[in-house]
Amino acid sequence: MYHNCFLGIDDGYFNVLYKRLEPKRKTLLVGAVTCNHKIVDVFLNYITIDSLDGTRKAIEIVEDATSKYEIDAIFLDGVTYAGFNIIDPLRIYNIYSIPVVTMFRHALDLERVRFALKKHFTDYTYRFSIIENIYSHSNVVKIGETNLRYHSIGLPMKFVETILEKLCRYYFYPYPLHVADRIASLLGRLYFKEFNR
């Protein structure tokens, strides 16, 4: 029986040239389950670059993971995946009632984000509303020497920060996301090399 299980979701590598030259290209979306700081499972899906299938694809990963493990919290690496595809943390929480913690590696300039979205997407108001809502209600906590920005749905701030202290014991980012990122980066490059020629 596993305890202290967390699911981290991150996207894989893609060539930015495909955003302009070849629409509807895909990259990998990876879900990594860690329990007691050990990798116990990995789930793979595909996500369309700059599309809006991100939330649905993430939900499919959550569905697979929760069918096998009791997940204590889901960690997302931001709101935008595969370019400006969107994963909506609130929708995931409303479906599964599992806490969702969204991490932000870098500070966002929301006005620049809005400008970029407006320039390239007719549905920019929808995409921006999710990004703005999550980011503008995020908090910063210092773990060791690193400042981490996060948004939490379903967990009190102090409890999230206690979890982050444990999950960032050996890495500057929560361990489930670190694992998902490493796997997604490696497999994403292989996927593009083999299937996106």
The structural domain count of the chain equals 1
pLDDT tens string 74-118: 999 999 999 999 999 999 999 999 999 999 999 999 999 999 999
Instruction: With respect to residue 175, please indicate whether it lies within any of the assigned structural domains.
Output: yes
Residue 139 has pLDDT above 90, yes or no: yes
Distance CA 71, CA 168 (A): 18
What per-residue confidence (pLDDT) applies to 23?
Answer: 60
User: Which residues have C-beta within 8 Å of that of residue 143, sequence separation ≥ 6?
Assistant: 161, 164, 165, 168, 172
d(CA 15, CA 17): 5
pLDDT band for position 26 (50/70/90)?
Answer: confident
The verdict on residue 197 lying in a domain is no
pLDDT grade, residue 19 (50/70/90)?
Answer: low
| pLDDT interval class at 51 (50, 70, 90) | very high
- Position 83 in a domain: yes
Q: Which residue has the higher pLDDT, 140 or 144?
A: 140
Cβ–Cβ < 8 Å for 40, 180:
no
Task: Flag whether 35 is in a domain.
Answer: yes
pTM, whole model, 2 decimals? Answer: 0.93
Quick one: 96 exposed, middle or buried, by C-beta within 10 A (0-12, 13-18, 19+)?
middle
Half-sphere exposure (CA, 13 Å, Cβ side) for 87? 32
Least reliable range by pLDDT among 51-65, 138-152, 181-195:
181-195
State the pLDDT at residue 194.
53
- Decide if 62 is inside a domain: yes
Range of the domain at 19: 5-192
The DSSP string of 15-64 is: -TTHHHHSTT-EEEEEEEEEETTEEEEEEEEEEETTSS-HHHHHHHHHHH
CATH of the domain at 93: 3.30.2170.10
pLDDT at 171: 86
